[in-house]
Amino acid sequence: MQNLHRVRAKVKPARSLEGASLFHRSPLCYYSQTGPESAFGRKAANYAQGRSQIQFMAFIINYQEKLNPAQYEAATTLEGPVLVVAGAGSGKTRTIVYRLARLMEEGVPPQQILLLTFTRKAAQEMTRRAEQLLGLGGSGVSGGTFHGFAYSVLRRFPPPGYRSGLTVMDTPDSLSALRSCKEDLKIGKGERAFPKTQTILSLISKSRNKEVDLDGLIRREAAHLMPYAPDMAAMADAYAAYKLKHSVLDYDDLLFALENQLRGNPELLALERGRFSHIMVDEYQDTNPVQARLTQLLAGENGNVMVVGDDAQSIYAFRGADVRNILNFPRLFPEAKLIKLEENYRSTQPVLDLTNAILAGARESFHKHLHSSRQSAVLPRLIRPLHDLSQAALAASMVSEFLHTYPAREIAVLFRAGYQSFNLEVQLNKQGIHFKKYGGLRYTDAAHIKDVMAMARLIVNPLDFPAFARVGEFYPGIGPKTAQRVYAAAVSGDAAQLDKAAGRHKDFLATLRFLDELRAAGEKPAACLSRILDHYRPVLEANYADDYPYRQQGLDEFLIIAEPYADLDLLISDLSLEDPGPEAGKGDDDGAITLSTVHSAKGLEWSVVLIIDLVQDRFPSRHALLNDDEYEEERRLLYVACTRAKDELILFAPVSVYNRGLGAHEAAVLSPFVHELPEGVYIEEREGYGGALYAAPARFGRMARPEAGNREDETGGQDAAFKAARPAPPRLSSFPPWAAVEDLPEQGESAFKAENVISGPSKDGPLRLGYCRHRLFGRGKIVQHIPPDKYRVNFTGFGLKVIMADYLVLEED
DNA sequence: AGCATTACCATTTTT
DNA sequence: TGGTAATGCT
């Protein structure tokens, strides 16, 4: 654990800017950096001098040699709207980077190219690769996340009501803001069942991202909270007012505020459109509706915009991403050219056979045939450990084996959710294997960093209440209430009132004066920060007595990060929007393997990929079982995970998992995505007592079974074979999700019966539809089989429930 | 009002 | 497990 902590907290300052937003870096003229000898330099110089015969010059790069035909077409179609549907591992980033090169060879100055992505990881990867190919020349390109871009515009053109400065709240800030709204409204005090503030915040955010009203969202996705919908709506309103009052924006606001600004100010729109002659959007399948509209707004109707994405890798629906964006792109831009990248350069054919089979069960819209020329005799493996502890041990020793063959940086273990790697982390430590984990604590989440950030934020935006409260709470005797009072007094401008509110807290008053002076001084960020650190040191020593020397180191690094910045607000926004994160330390950790959530693994690749916990309720997550769309997203998530593997893919599915509630191990059900894989795409091995692995025979009863109404024959031989062997995908009823867990009212039940009764006993299921018994609920009627192993049962007195087959006893006729 | 302790609960993914 | 909210103590 010690090991993990250190890796997480480590920040390598020199690289921290590399992936950080490039919007604000002074637009470095790349020719001055590459030097006059460079061909790029010469061409750019030509451009700068107004010569435009560039298209007649020979290109430095032989694009046709470096790219396949589809990639070539994408990289050299520079005008007009283009949609690139890029399968996993099809050289998407490569294509984008070569297109950048091409644009620059054609004489387009890098500052006129805008490269937007959804995650900062993708942004970092892109700029890294661009710099690899183009040298520092690539760094003049404006690239980053939508959020980062939005901030860069909004700070120059603040939305109405935000003239006095503007800061971005991170999630903890938003949370305490909402909590304070809840207190002000005196809502839900002492009510046990009242939803958690966290829950409410994510519902509010989701409703905004999906652009549906809160009430409807609650009805559809959290029906058990319906009784609290009015209270939550009130909180949402109060939260919006709070943000305006305190000149803060949350992540979601950034996008909407930018859209409003662009729509409300034609001059601004023209300006922004003029700044960028070419726009590229990566990971387009993960954009939400606002982001799609922003893309359209910035591009103009026939703009030069290329969007790149893969509908099969859309895994952010939970926060409003909408696959329809990518599907609708041709409709939005009727002139759009569609290019598909289907050749996979990453994985061996056996790995692709498995990933294609995962996708075969999906409701996919752009059909792709991924193929590879990389043949291999090594099949993916499915390991069935006895339980989750032995899974961790087995995975760790397998990693240890692989370390003889592959460098650590080529090995990764992936999982659905962060906590699932816990056992594994222990085992890896035990075996002395170094690892780094993605998706853990962020650098900026450390309390002392947040403290200093809060002071810096108050310099930029004196009204920033979350920052104000945080600074107040440095000092003993000041909590949320006092902070609020002092804030009100300080903002009122009445010195006497301020003295009355904070007179007892000399330290705090001194700090406020200190901040005022510092604000007036208007020093460079690094100098300013240095003074803040000096002032903060006594607080640090008092509040973190146990480990302040360690924290001080982190703060020293902060100074180095700040050095290159010209504006303090840019430093702050970069840190809160695109913080350096553990990735910044990558270069050091060559000896470390990677642990990562699947989400964080997107876009990355390793020679060896292990995926753990492939059992029902974990992968797919139990939260996804109730809803068709979420279930499909889990499938895509597994697809993303498996397509990270270049050479070897190892799936783990423990036979039993520890149940905390029960305090014992219980049987685990193999993930349906694995279960439905056809025979022959993987080798199964089972763990015996003592940890030995035994090859398992082909699973019983998994013969190819023709499926009625098989829809696509055009998918080609191999795919068709997969489909034939695949059992019917689990279909859940379209009945509202909560119906599955909550008791249904009488009329709901009959409505359900009328519409959703399945057409007959499932051939898959061992249970016939009839009566059964349950230990707790007694006798009930089986209404529906929910493959692979659940049943919807109507119990007298308890209503409809969804129960695992293992807990049901079939009643004899 | 602030702070410490206790009890409970639920458990995802990211900007 | 750990984080959060209610409760109790200063």
Q: pLDDT digit string (tens) for A158-197?
A: 998 887 788 888 888 888 888 888 888 878 776 777 888 8
Please count the helices (runs of H) and the strands (runs of E) in chain A.
Answer: 33, 23
pLDDT for res A249 = 93
Nearest protein residue to nucleotide B11 (CA to C1' distance) is A419
Residue A661 CB lies within 7 Å of the nucleic strand C:
no
Amino acid at the residue A146? F
Residue A665 CB lies within 7 Å of the nucleic strand C:
no
**Closest of A402, A420, A324, A408 to residue A363, by C-alpha:** A324
Q: Does residue A291 carry a pLDDT above 90?
A: yes
Half-sphere exposure (Cβ direction) of A56: Cα atoms closer than 13 Å: 4
Q: Reduce the DSSP state of residue A261 to 3 states and report it.
A: helix
Half-sphere exposure (Cβ direction) of A210: Cα atoms closer than 13 Å: 21
Q: What does the angle CA A788 – CA A789 – CA A791 come to, to the nearest 5 degrees?
A: 115
pLDDT for res A33 = 27
What is the band of A801 on the pLDDT scale with cuts at 50, 70, 90?
Answer: low
Nearest protein residue to nucleotide C7 (CA to C1' distance) is A190
Spatial distance from the CA of A81 to the C1' of B14 (Å): 28
What is the band of A613 on the pLDDT scale with cuts at 50, 70, 90?
Answer: very high
pLDDT for res A153 = 94
Spatial distance from the CA of A232 to the C1' of B6 (Å): 28
Tokens at residue A198, please? 């966290």
CA distance A690 to A697: 20
Residue A66 CB lies within 7 Å of the nucleic strand C:
no
Global confidence as pTM: 0.74
**Closest of A38, A23, A35 to residue A105, by C-alpha:** A38
Nearest protein residue to nucleotide C4 (CA to C1' distance) is A196
Residue A189 CB lies within 7 Å of the nucleic strand C:
yes
Q: Which DSSP category does A727 fall into?
A: P
Tokens at residue A578, please? 């695109």
Spatial distance from the CA of A670 to the C1' of B3 (Å): 48
pLDDT for res A31 = 22
Chain C, protein-covered positions (CB within 7 A): 1, 4-7
pLDDT for res A787 = 52
**Closest of A114, A254, A54, A230 to residue A174, by C-alpha:** A254
Spatial distance from the CA of A145 to the C1' of B12 (Å): 22
Task: Give A355 or A573, the one with higher predicted confidence.
Answer: A355
Q: Reduce the DSSP state of residue A140 to 3 states and report it.
A: helix
pLDDT for res A660 = 62
User: Tens digits of per-residue pLDDT, A365-394?
Assistant: 666 778 888 888 889 999 999 888 889 889
Tokens at residue A613, please? 């916990």
Residues 195-224 of A with CB under 7 A from strand C: 196-198
Amino acid at the residue A538? P
Q: Does residue A517 carry a pLDDT above 90?
A: yes
Side-by-side strand order, sheet with A113-117: A142-145, A113-117, A278-281, A305-309, A82-86, A337-341
Nearest nt (C1') from A174 Cα: B15
- DSSP code per residue over A518-581: HHHHT--HHHHHHHHHHHHHHHHHHHTTTTHHHHHHHHHHHHHHHTT-S-HHHHHHHHHHS--T
Residues 157-176 of A with CB under 7 A from strand C: 175
What is the band of A72 on the pLDDT scale with cuts at 50, 70, 90?
Answer: very high
What is the mean predicted confidence (pLDDT) over A774-787? 59
Spatial distance from the CA of A543 to the C1' of C10 (Å): 20
Residues 6+ apart with CB under 8 A from A334: none
Among A4-13, A482-491, A721-730, A774-783, name the one with the lowest average pLDDT.
Answer: A4-13
CA distance A787 to A730: 5
Spatial distance from the CA of A795 to the C1' of C6 (Å): 36
Q: Reduce the DSSP state of residue A761 to 3 states and report it.
A: coil
Residues 6+ apart with CB under 8 A from A221: A203, A206, A627, A737
CA distance A441 to A171: 13
Q: What's the mean per-residue pLDDT of chain A? A: 76
